[in-house]
Structure 1
């Protein structure tokens, strides 16, 4: 897999089993840190990424196996911080069609 400079990619969170670089891996935890922009191609299989500020302690060069192509538009990606909690999660059922008598 190859990426061009300017492509958006997701960074794989847990590349090796047992390694906890980005926190504990649980069932519904995110599988990738997204969407980072490719800044430079280094060699044949390494890429330098423009990482978010909260990951400034992480080295910005990654192997191609740790990257996944970001399919879709970056404006449609919802960040976890933007999601608001809703106190009442109930909903109203509306009859659409009677299927049987």
Structure 2
């Protein structure tokens, strides 16, 4: 069976594309300092690939306070515009907790400079 799996993986195009040797090496991990105040530093990311809800939400935007680890889970759609995401951030995070001084995220395209410009306009 082990030989069959190895043969299948060797012939599978998707398996070869996502193989670790074919991916760009990420940089060294950077340790984040421990925040001093709650809600001063947050981390955020998206959970996608979910089945749509009745309101057609198919993703969750997760915003976590880095000190207390309390989290907001915001239902969104993958196709929301950057300006819509900035509106949601203002309504759900800034309105309740104020503007954080540090926002950590991965390199998701949604967090490109367009999001930050949209956030400043909102």
TM-score interval, normalised by the smaller of the two chains? under 0.3
Higher strand residue share: 1
Tell me the TM-score normalised to structure 1 length.
Answer: 0.24
Tell me the TM-score normalised to structure 2 length.
Answer: 0.22
Higher helix residue share: 2
